[in-house]
Structures are given as structure tokens and as C-alpha cells.
A and B are shown apart, each in its own frame.
Chain A
Amino acid sequence: MESLYAITTGVLSACGLYLMLRGRTFPVVVGLTLLSYAVNLFLFSMGGLTTHGAAIIDGDRHYADPLPQALVLTAIVIGFAMTAFAVILAMRARGDMGNDHVDGRTREDREEGRR
């Protein structure tokens, strides 16, 4: 199970990172979101993978590690704020610069500028 989990995290990170290396804003934002999912899964697993663990204190039972959970919970919400900011920034950039390239200018623009 652990290896399966690790592979899944790795694949999701790789997909997210690949998208973040793209040149247009929307795929980058999608990649960022995907990467934050992967990172959350990664952080979550730092407490170990507990099946049928108790989440609520109730006598002497087998509990899941609460600390990574609390950490990831805040990370999810912050991740949302970051995604939102990035995507709105992308919209604003398109509005102000007239294209949706991450550098604010397309390759044609750049070559034109060089000439």
C-alpha cells in the first residue's frame, strides 16, 4: 500500500510540475493546483497511513495522527487562496497585456522587440 501511495504522489507531482513549466497562464494555474494536491497528500502521509483509525477521542483506541491532518487542513485552504490569487492575476495580466503568456509577452512580441 505504501509504495502505491508513494507512486501516486509522485505521478501527481510530476504532472503538476510539467504543467507549471508551460508557457500560458491557465495550464500553470492548473499545474499549481495539481501540485498542491500532491503536496497535501505527501504531507498527510507524514503521519503514516492509518486505516480505520479513530478521529475522535473516545476511550483508548487506535488513533490516526492528528498533527499532519491539522497542517494539511490549513494547507488546503491556503492552497485555495493561492490558486485564486494566481488565476485572478492571470486574468488581470491578460486584460492589461493582451495575451495570456506567463511572461506577459509572446515569442512573436519578443522577437519583434529584438528587431
Chain B
Amino acid sequence: MTLLWIALLPLLGVLVPALGASLRRRECSLATAALPALALLLTLAEVPALLDGETLRFAVDWIPALGLELAFRLDGLTLLFNLLILGIGLLILLYAHYYLAPEEPYGRFYAYLILFMASMVGIVMADNLLLLWLFWELTSLSSFLLIGFWSHRSDARKGARMALAVTGAGGLALLAGFLLIGDVVGSYNLDRVLTSGDAILADPRYPLILALVLLGAFAKSAQFPFQFWLPHAMAAPTPVSAYLHSATMVKAGIFLMARLHPALAGSELWTLVVSLVGMTTLLYGAWFALMKTDLKGILAFSTVSHLGLITVLLGIGSPMAVLAALFHILNHATFKAALFMGSGIIDHETGTRELARLGGLARVMPLTAVLTAIAGAAMAGVPLLNGFLSKEMLFTETLETPVLGGLSWLMPALATAGGVLSVAYSLRLVHAVFFKAPRQAPPKAPHDPPRMMSAPMALLTALCVLVGLFPSALAGGLLDLATRAVLLVPLEFHLAIWHGFNLPLAMSAVALVAGVGLYLLHAHLRRFLRGFRPVDARLVFEAAMQRSARHAERLLGHLDNASLQRYMGLLLLAALGLVALGLGQMPSLAGDQPQQPVDGVLLTGAALLIFSGLATAITHRHRLISLLMLSMVGLLVSLTFARFSAPDLALTQLSVEVVTIILLMLALFFLPQKTPRESSLPRSLRDAALASALGMTIASLNYAVLTRDISSISGFFLDNSVTGGGGHNVVNVILVDFRGFDTLGEITVLAIAGLAIFKLLNRLRLFMPHSDAEGRLWCPDRYPMILTTISQALLPLALLVSAFIFLRGHNLPGGGFIAGLITAVALILLLMARGVEWAQSRLDFQYQPVAIAGVGLAALTGLGSWLFGHPFLTSAFGHFHLPLVGDFELATALLFDLGVYLAVVGATLMILANLGKVTTAHRPVKDDHSADTATGKEKR
């Protein structure tokens, strides 16, 4: 449980500054620090258990079907990183408290920072590859927010975008790699993966897995050739650079390589690729660190270089190399974070980070100068400091590695060259800022910062010295735990400052002397190099981005030309292709069932249906005629249902048909009466061909199904309808009982459609045409008397019929849908006959509440079964006897059906009555009747 809290506390901590933004800066900073500090204490509290050789685990299933579990672990490696992430994170928080300008939104900044911290903690604690990946992506996202924190600056936005693009793409590769690993191992559990190293190495997909995982790790840790994003990410506020780009995020890739070391390392491929990429990065970063003139640029490239160093060690992969890598992770985090803080202080105090404008600061900022000098010396690998120890170990390992075979002398030589460069740029950093006479005065008069702002830096620098002096005592235990976690077996080692006069020491000496020499010469070197045009990674990247955006736009322009006809055509073409493909694979179209005989009535019906369908399509320019033909199709469909033993369907279709045609006629009143001839003949023919082809496939499909024996699940419904649902009308019982949940969803959709239409009609101002297409005036007699009289007389009768249909619905054809439609039709008839205003003055109710009440009633009926301990929508029924009325049945399904009834009535009337209101007299009428433009823009 403690593990869960360690992982969760920082995540919860995100909320603190987000909610506490109204607090004053001091309180906000303190409150923000509380939860991570607690997590740090909890981590430390687990150290005794770790020292006993345990690995702590916590796991609960999350999505078992995907192999994703919420699993955390705490072993030596996790401990090392947790200390870095939480410990340095807290120091950064303290530093940021002083660094940010008073007017900057510190709450937001802290929230991003803690989010990042939480996701880093998640990465190092995850005990499941998928979970690890989740947090991995979260670090990419939160670092995007942090790098782009000063979003008003273009370089910050571009740097953030570049970092996100590179690390995000790497993350996708990583996911693919993880999925492959999961496929090989059969689990995403880290323990299983780490102990399956042999299986993974033996798998033919191993090179692919390795490539994908390394892509992710290299992109994150800015290894060559992905090193270009890191310097541009320096547009971030300095606390972010110090945290993300020295201690944590860029170490995530390193962490991953260390974590998966037992599973993936151990092949020649690993050694070769990882150590060579690391070496290239080491030299590349070191070289550019020497050439840069921006303080943070120097630090950025030196970070790239040191990450390369750690990568080399992980690539070499021997136990001692792993130890050296872990040691250097620790050392680099301390001295580099200190240096970044120092550069932030200088920037803060002088207003510039350009070396040209800095110099001689040692006199005005003595404390900062001393601290930077010590941390810089640690970076250079000066003896008695921590950087020296791990660099010495690197030299030893490069001497022993068999990589490159006969050329293996190249590794120590290159490592020494890296050491030379690192001494040179460290020296330059310290000397140029603090001791050399400045060429230009800085923008602000500098002095040492507030004591608390230097405190984190001082603490880290002190650690550099102490670890350098007493490595065994201070770092030995931690490294022992961490190496055990990476190598899975304990490693005997002794950290010592003095190993006697040997080759590594000589290499260090060479590096120191040659480094000083190189620094003295580097001004000449820079002058010489000025002849070459530098390649700006940002320009290259931006050009690539813009190119791909342009291509995407062009492609989109081709695909998405805002033409519904084209989309529809493509969609239908795709459907045609898929269905035709399926049909083509069938051995024969006709199945084994014999056809039923055809009689004259059927033939006539089919002929009429085909005729009216074709007529609807052919006459579509004359919209009214087309609509009449459509109504004929609807009526014939209703007869078809009746013919094939579906009385419920026939009734529903009939009543829906009435409502639909009334609706379409009303709508047509406001739309042009004729369709202009727009499509060219070829186009019409093409559409007709496409439609016919689809029609033929649909017919074939239908025929294929109809001539085959279908085993249906309907037997269940037929058997259980009376006993289980208490109704003899199986269709109705299915609707209100067996599949009641579907029906509930359906009436909800109906009500939503009604509400949407209500909103669409709201404030719609369409000019009412004053004459028809031929110029004949519309009949001035708005409310014909015969219709008025009959509809009024019919209303009670129609309502009675609908009540009857409703009540008998459970046992005989009928039910809520049909009854609701009949009621709606009766009311609509009245509305048409007497006008909306007349009806409204008498039927004084709103339709929206009716529809909503219907849905609510149905839902409540369903919920009611919970009271009796049954699942949602369980129905109950019983038979009752009343004198005079006789035996009758009551079922909760009836209540549900009442909900359906109300929803149907409400929604239908909402649609039609609101549409009817558009025709009321007080709306504007346009005089001229040039039919096709008889529209008006809404007047507001």
C-alpha cells in the first residue's frame, strides 16, 4: 500500500498548486512541496526493507484483458531514481520559488512541475510495461507544458513542439517495442520480462524489439541522432532545465536502458549499437558545448555529452560498467543541477546568459562563483570530486571492453578525447563567467542572490565534494542496491579514490592537461570554425514540419472538398467494394431452402412497390409528386409487413407514414418546390450506376440470406414471453421487457431529436411563400370547415382508440409506440385543421416536458426493480380481478410502455407543432414570388 501512496502522492500533489493558486507565493510553494516531501519520506522509510534484499511490489488489476495492471515496485534502481526525482525536485521547487518573477502564474508552473515529477516517479516505479509507457508519455506531455511555459515566446513554443514531436514519436516506437516484448514473454509484468532475457534474445524479432525500444530511449535521452531537441528545450525557465534536462527526464531513457538491461542487453548487437551511439553523442555534445556562447547552451550540450557517457557504459554492459553508469547518473544529476541553478542565478542577476557580456563576476558574486567552480570541476573530472570517480571508471571500462574487436583501442582513445573536451568546456564555463574581464557590461548590476536561492545549489555542490571524498560511505549502499536491481545479482565492489598509478589515471591526467591546453587555444579554433556554416536544428526541423503540414493540407484539399455528394459517393463505393468482396467469396448465391410460391397479390404488390420507388426517384425534380410517390412506398411497405405476419409493424409503419408525410409536406412548403437541373448527364448516369450496383448487391445479399436456413435465437423469446414477461404479444414483450434497455435508449434518442429540432426551429425566420411554383396563390381559406369539424369530432374517438391499443399492447398487437403515434396523429390533425394558435389556447401544455417525463418514467420503472434487489429493468406482473371489469393483468412493463407512449407523443408533437408554429400569421411574409430565391436571412 505504501508503494501506491508513493506513486499517488505526487499525482495528488498536482491539485495542490492548481487549487491553491489564490494563496500567496510562500504558502503555495510550501503546500506544493508537502506531498512530494511526504512521498520522499515514505520512500526512505522503505530503505531498511530494501537493504534486507527485498523488492517491494504492489499490484491490482486494471484492464486484465490487455495485461495492464496498476503495479508498482520499489527496488534499488527505483530507489536511486526516486531519490533523484523527489529530492532534486524539492530543491528545484525551493529554487523556483525565488526564480519566477512575481507576476508569473506560479500556481500553474508548480502544477506542471509536480505533474512532471509524478509521471517520472510513475516511470521508475511502474512494474508493468504498459503502465511504464503510460507514464512515459505523460512525461512527454508535461515536459511540453513546461518547456512552453513562457508561451508568449516563439522559441519556447517551437522548442516545446520539437521536444514533443521527437520524444512523442520515440514513445510510439517504444510502445511498439513493448507490445512485441509482451508478445514474446506473454506478459507485461516487469518481473516476468526481466527474467525472460534469454527468450527475448533468442526470438527472431529481437533486433526489431531492440531497435524500437532504443529508439524510444534515445529520443528521450537526446542520444545521437536525436540530440538536437535538447538545446532548443532550453527555452524553458531555468528551474525546468535544471530539473528535466539534467536530473530527470533525459535520464528516463537511461533509466529504461538500465531497467531492461537484464531483458535486452547481453547481445553483441546491444553492445555495439548502444556503446557506439553513446560514444558519438559524448563527442558530439562535448564539441558543441565548447563552441556555444550561451550559458544554458553550453550546459545543454554538456548534458547531451554526459548522457552519451552513461549510454556508453550501459552499452559495454559488464557489471562494473553498469555500476559506473549508475554512479555517473547520480553524480551527473548533482553537479549538473547545481550548474543549471548557477546559470539561472547568473541569468537572474545579470539579465543575460551570453558569455560575451559576462565576466569577472567572481568579485560581485563570490558565493556563486565558488559553487559553480566546484560543480564545474566535478563535471570536468577533477580529482577529489564525484565526477572524477565515475569518469575514472569509464576509462577503466573502455580499456577492458572487447567492442570493435581489433579496433578496441579506439574506445579508450575516444573516451579520453571526450574527457579533454569536457575539461575544456568546464574550464571555459567557469573562467569566462567569473574570472575573465568582460568585454561588455551585463544589463543589470549583479550581486549574490538571496541566501535561500543559493541554498539548493550549495547543498548539491556539497554533495559533489562529499561523495568525491567518501564515495563508499555516501553512495556505496545506494549503488549496491541499484546494481543488484539491474544485474539481478549482488555485485562485489569497492568505491575508492585511489587505485594506484595506472592507465585510467594517466588518461585522466592527459584529459586535464590537454583540456586546459584546448581551452587556451579554443578562441583560435572558433575563429577557424566560423568559416563553416552551422546547421541550425530548429530551422531544419521547422522546415520539415512546414513541409509535412503543406503536404497534409494538399492531401486534405483533395480528400475533403466540403462536398457531401463526393463523400457519399466514396462511402457508397467503399461499401460496395466490401460487400461485393464478401459476396464473391460465397460458393453460390442461392442457399438450399426452396422458394415459396408467388401469387397474384404478391406480384401486384411488388410491382407497385417497385413502380412507386422508381417513380419517387425519377420525379424527384417535381418534389410534391415525388413525395406522393414516397407515401405510396410507405403504405405498400406497411402492407408488406401485414402480409408477412407482422401486425405490430404494419400498424407502426402506417402511423409513422402519416406523420412523416405531413412533416415532409410542411417542410416542402418552405423549400423550393422544384429541384433545378444541376447535375450533368454523365454525373447522373454515374450516380445511377453506383446506386444500381449497390441495389443489386443488397438484393443479392437479401436473397442469399432468405434462401438459407437461419437458426434464430427467437425460440427463447417465444418460450419465455408468457411465463417470463407476462405477455402474449412477443414483439411487445421484447420491446418493453427482454430488450427494454434498447427501447429506453431509443426513446431517449427520440426525445433528443425532438429537442434538437426545437432548438433548430428556434428563431428560424423563413419567408412564407405566397404562391406556389406556378405562381398560383395559396388558398386564402386557412382552416377548411369540413376538416375542422371532422377532426374535432374524431379527436375523442382517436384518443380512445389509442388508449385501447395501448392497453392491449402486451397481449395483442399494439403498445406504447403505436398508441403514441395514433395520439400524435389525432392531435396533429387538429392542429392542421384549426391552426397552432387555436390549439395552443386549448391544449395549454408544453411538449418538451411530456417527452422528458416519458423517458424519465421509463428509466424510473427500470430503476424501481433495484428496490426489490433485481437488475435494472426487471419486470414484474400479476393477474388481478375487479368486479365489472373482470380479470386483467398488471405489469410493471405497462408503466414502462407508458413512458414510451409519452416520449413518442411528446417528441412527435414537439417536432410537428413547432414546425407548424413557423407558419403562424405574425411571421414575416415576402411579397415577391420569384420562387427560387424566396428565402430570407434571419433578421436579428
Contacts and interface: CB of A to CB of B under 8 A. Distances in A.
Interface string A67-89: 10110111011111111110111
Interface stretch (B314-322, B539-547, B610-618): B610-618
Given A44-B644, A95-B766, A73 B761 contact: no
A21 B687 contact: yes
B743 interface: yes
B747 to A, nearest CB: 8
B706 A10 contact: no
A64 to B, nearest CB: 4
Given A45-B702, A74-B742, A98-B935, A81 B671 contact: no
B904 A84 contact: no
B785 interface: no
Interface in B689-710: 690-692, 694-696, 698-703, 705-707, 710
Nearest to A107: B678
B714 A15 contact: no
Contact of A19 (B616, B653, B710, B904): B616
Contact of A55 (B647, B678, B739): B647
B716 to A, nearest CB: 9
Contacts of B800: none
Interface string B576-620: 000000000000000001011110001100100110011011001
Contact of B630 (A5, A17, A30, A77): A30
Contact of A69 (B731, B764, B821): B731
Interface string A1-41: 11111111111111111111111111111110110011011
A25 B670 CA distance: 12
B638 to A, nearest CB: 10
Interface in B534-569: 562-565, 568-569
A34 B660 CA distance: 12
B917 interface: no
Contacts of A80: 656, 659-660, 908
Given A2-B595, A37-B633, A67 B760 contact: no
B757 A74 contact: no
A44 B675 contact: no
Among B663, B691, B696, the most chain A Cβ lie within 10 Å of the Cβ of B691
B717 A45 contact: no
A69 B649 contact: yes
Contact of B643 (A8, A15, A51, A70): A51
A48 B710 contact: yes
B648 interface: yes
B525 interface: no
Contact of A18 (B562, B593, B688): B688
Given A12-B609, A69-B646, A26 B623 contact: yes
Among A38, A88, A103, the most chain B Cβ lie within 10 Å of the Cβ of A88
Judged by DSSP, the binding face of A is helix
Nearest to A21: B687
B730 interface: yes
Contacts of B731: 55, 66, 69-70, 73
B533 interface: no
Contacts of B761: 88, 91-92
B100 interface: no
B646 A55 contact: yes
Interface in B657-678: 659-660, 663-664, 667-668, 670-672, 675-676, 678
A41 B646 contact: no
A54 B714 CA distance: 14
Contacts of A6: 699-700, 702-703, 706
A52 B664 CA distance: 34
Interface string B807-836: 000011100010001000000000000000
Interface in A96-112: 96, 98-100, 102-103, 106-107
Sorted from nearest, which 6 A-B pairs have the closest CB atoms? Answer: A10-B699, A14-B695, A53-B645, A64-B645, A6-B703, A81-B753
7 contacts: A10-B698, A16-B613, A26-B667, A37-B633, A77-B746, A81-B754, A100-B672
